């Protein structure tokens, strides 16, 4: 090996001092004049300069220094090289890593020999695919097979398979022996995630995997701590991540449990928000999947199992999925009631409220005197929700009278209004005193499709006009009241049609799709 001159040595020391003064925690990333070749890098899951793996899929990266290295320093996505791994006797090592985002990624690595000399840097570029679909997704909408017609679950006891779910129907478990069981579609010794909507009244497992003797993973309500929990068996111990706050029983709640084998970490998310995580967990492979095992009455819906670790953005999307609570098509054309297509309950037409029919559509007609009173849809304004309606304002000119398309009312007080604002002359969405308005004045004597969203995870309310986003403003708060009745047409003059109320947030694609009147 050829030695560097004293001048070269002084130059390297000078570069090292500058790097430290600049704030680098690992100045080896800036070492100059190295004469060792850069280590070789290979990966089966993430091949060089090509697509592979996916978000949440663990990959092994093989490092080879041709026998010269005692260790490697490396980093993903940055050249700080602030991590290290010892080399085997043959100068090789294996890095296990799980990507959190899709797209081009880079692994930067150098080897270090026994004399402390750093090699040239290897920049290994690869492409991470977007996260894949779940290994199994049980909608529980009248079938116990997953969406691919596979992974059939078997009912045990007497579960109600046609109960009201979060989205459509779900399963209701009333007795201790009631649960669903089947073969687990994921390997719980590797990266995996479990997710479901649950509404529990007490202690019960939501989704669990077992090896036949004990839970290998269990997403559940812990009645002792009154908290949501995600736990895994590791050796003789059961490690548990719990929610920060007590669980709200009797309320649809989205739960996600994730496990990452590269960091041996499990994490719990409630309604899209990370609650806690526990490290040092070595997962074991399970053979069975159980849905709803426990003692307290519970409802469960939309069960998903992933063979990868979901990232926080993906968990947020799952927790924001919308479930319809009321849908008044308003197509009867006659009579004093109109039916909710979701629940089968009826809303009463009051005062002078009547019907109108065109060549293609039937809708309600209001003259400013009557209104419609409907049963409570059961949404809470302190949680995410979406409301929408078609409306036509039959005024000859804009006036200063606020006119409501739909509202939620409790004890005579409106909690939200989708309306014509009167003084503003614009479309408005008012939630607990916070108002978001359209950019332009409301159209008169023509049908308009309006959608309003409260997105709790984003702490904002949004207004859409004919399926297109208009504006948003920050919002926190709302009411936990679930008994607020739905009212249509207070002081309204004109037509109202196709009213929908959702728990959760419709995507922009879903909102656009509904902007075509049917």
Q: What value does the mean pLDDT of the chain take?
A: 91
How would residue 236 be classed by pLDDT, with cut points 50, 70 and 90? confident
Of 393, 396, 445, whose CA–CA distance to 421 is shortest? 393
**Residue 336 pLDDT exceeds 70:** yes
Q: What is the pLDDT of residues 36-89, one digit of tens each?
A: 899 999 999 999 978 999 999 999 999 999 888 999 999 999 999 999 999 999
Does 20 have pLDDT greater than 60?
A: no
Report pLDDT digits (tens) over 405-430. 999 999 999 999 999 999 999 999 99
Alpha-helical (H) ranges within 359-436 are none
Domains of the chain in start order, with CATH, are: 6-128 (2.60.40.2470), 136-319 (2.60.120.200), 323-513 (2.60.120.200)
The alpha carbon dihedral of 30, 32, 34, 39 has a sign of positive
Q: CA separation (Å) from 477 to 252, 319, 434, 454, 459?
A: 18, 18, 10, 10, 9
CB-based burial label for 7 (10 Å; 0-12, 13-18, 19+): exposed
Assess whether pLDDT exceeds 90 at residue 499. yes
Check pLDDT > 80 for residue 28: no
| pLDDT for position 8 | 43
The residues facing 112 across adjacent strands are 71, 118
Going by C-alpha positions, the residue among 379, 364, 398, 257 that lies closest to residue 315 is 257
| Under 8 Å between Cβ of 424 and 468 | no
What is the structure's pLDDT at 34?
A: 53
Name the nearest CA neighbour of 217 among 259, 171, 261, 155: 259
pTM listed for this prediction:
0.86
Q: Residue 263's pLDDT band (boundaries 50, 70, 90)?
A: very high
Structure confidence at residue 3 (pLDDT): 40
Cα–Cα distance for residue pair 81/83, rounded to 1 Å: 6
Q: Does residue 271 carry a pLDDT above 80?
A: yes
Per residue in 420-469, pLDDT tens?
999 999 999 999 999 999 999 999 999 999 999 999 999 999 999 999 99
Q: What is the mean pLDDT of residues 1-10?
A: 40
| pLDDT of 15 higher than 60 | no
Count of CB atoms within 10 A of residue 31's CB?
19
What contacts 55, CB < 8 A, 6 or more positions away?
Answer: 99, 100, 101, 102, 128, 129, 130, 131, 308, 311, 314
- Confirm if 302 and 135 have CB atoms less than 8 A apart: no
SS (H, E, C) 153-220: CEEECCCEEEEECCCCEEEEECCCCCEEEEECCCCCCCCEEEEEEEEECCCEEEEEEECCCCEEEEEE
For residue 213, the model assigns a pLDDT of: 74
Token readout for 390 is 């078609």
Confidence band (pLDDT; 50, 70, 90) for 12?
very low
Residue 238: burial class (beta carbons within 10 Å; 0-12, 13-18, 19+): middle
Determine the Cα–Cα distance for residues 73 and 228; give it in Å rounded to an integer: 39
Burial (CB count <10 Å: 0-12, 13-18, 19+), residue 163: middle
Q: In what order do the strands lie in the sheet with 372-374?
A: 337-339, 346-349, 372-374, 485-488, 403-410, 413-420, 426-431, 434-441
pLDDT at 7: 42
5 pLDDT tier (thresholds 50, 70, 90): very low
Separation of alpha carbons 518 and 516, rounded Å: 6
Q: What is the DSSP string of 468-496?
A: EEEEEEE---------PEEEE-TT-EEEE
Is the pLDDT confidence value at 4 over 50? Answer: no
Structure confidence by residue, pLDDT tens digits, 352-376: 999 999 989 999 999 999 999 999 9
Confidence of residue 518 (pLDDT cuts 50, 70, 90): confident
Q: What pLDDT was estimated at residue 250?
A: 84
d(CA 181, CA 169): 18
Helix/strand/coil for 318: helix
Q: How far apart are CA 46 and CA 99, in angstroms?
A: 10
Do 435 and 416 meet the contact criterion of CB atoms below 8 Å apart? no
Nearest to 257 by CA among 196, 347, 181, 173: 196
Is-contact 280 342, C-beta < 8 A?
no
What is the pLDDT averaged over residues 511-516?
94
pLDDT grade, residue 1 (50/70/90)?
very low
Taking only the tens place, the pLDDT of each residue in 195-235 is 999 998 777 789 989 877 778 999 999 988 999 999 999 98
Q: Are 156 and 179 in contact (CB under 8 A)?
A: yes
């Amino acid at each position: 090996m050829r030695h560097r001159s004293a001048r070269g040595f002084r130059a390297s020391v000078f570069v090292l001092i500058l790097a430290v003064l600049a704030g680098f925690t690992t100045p080896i990333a800036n070492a100059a004049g190295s004469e060792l070749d850069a280590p070789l890098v290979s990966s089966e899951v993430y091949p060089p300069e090509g697509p592979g793996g996916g978000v949440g899929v663990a990959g092994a990266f093989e490092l080879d220094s041709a026998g010269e290295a005692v260790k490697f320093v490396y980093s993903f996505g940055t050249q700080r090289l602030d991590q290290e791994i010892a080399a085997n006797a043959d100068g090789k090592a294996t890095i296990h890593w799980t990507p959190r985002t899709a797209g081009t990624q880079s692994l930067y690595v150098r080897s270090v020999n026994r004399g402390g000399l750093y090699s040239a840097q290897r920049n290994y570029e690869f492409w991470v695919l977007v996260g894949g679909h779940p290994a199994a997704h049980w909608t529980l909408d009248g079938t116990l097979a997953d969406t691919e017609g596979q992974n059939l679950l078997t009912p045990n006891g007497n579960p109600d398979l046609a109960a009201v779910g979060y989205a459509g129907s779900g399963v209701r478990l009333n007795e201790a022996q009631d649960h669903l069981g089947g073969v687990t579609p994921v390997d719980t010794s590797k990266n995996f995630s479990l997710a479901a909507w649950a509404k529990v009244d007490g202690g019960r497992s939501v989704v669990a995997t077992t090896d036949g003797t004990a839970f290998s993973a269990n997403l559940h309500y812990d009645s002792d701590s009154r908290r949501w929990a995600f736990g895994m068996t590791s050796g003789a111990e059961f490690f548990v991540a719990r929610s920060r706050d007590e669980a709200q029983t009797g309320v649809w709640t989205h739960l996600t449990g994730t496990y990452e084998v590269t960091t041996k970490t499990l994490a719990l998310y409630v309604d899209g928000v990370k609650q806690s995580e526990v490290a040092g967990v070595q997962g074991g492979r399970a053979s069975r999947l159980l849905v709803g095992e426990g003692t307290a009455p519970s409802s469960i819906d939309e069960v998903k199992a992933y063979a990868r670790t979901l990232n926080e953005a993906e968990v947020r999307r799952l927790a924001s999925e919308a479930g319809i609570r009321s849908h008044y098509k308003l197509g009867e054309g006659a009579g004093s009631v109109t039916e909710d297509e979701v629940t089968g309950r009826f809303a009463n037409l009051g005062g002078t409220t009547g019907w109108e029919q065109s060549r293609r559509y039937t809708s309600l007609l209001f003259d400013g005197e009557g209104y419609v009173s409907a049963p409570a849809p059961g949404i809470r304004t302190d949680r995410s929700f979406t409301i929408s309606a078609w409306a036509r304002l039959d005024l000859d000119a804009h006036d200063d009278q606020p006119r409501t398309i739909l509202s939620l009312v409790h004890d005579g007080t409106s909690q939200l209004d989708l309306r014509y604002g009167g003084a503003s002359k614009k479309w408005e969405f008012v939630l607990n005193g916070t108002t978001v308005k359209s950019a332009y004045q409301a159209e008169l004597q023509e049908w308009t499709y309006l959608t309003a969203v409260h997105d709790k995870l984003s702490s904002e309310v949004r207004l859409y006009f004919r399926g297109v986003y208009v504006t948003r403003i920050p919002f926190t708060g709302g009411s936990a009241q679930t008994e607020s009745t739905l009212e249509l047409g207070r002081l309204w003059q004109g037509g109202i049609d196709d009213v929908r109320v959702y728990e959760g947030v419709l995507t922009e694609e879903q909102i656009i799709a509904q902007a075509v009147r049917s």
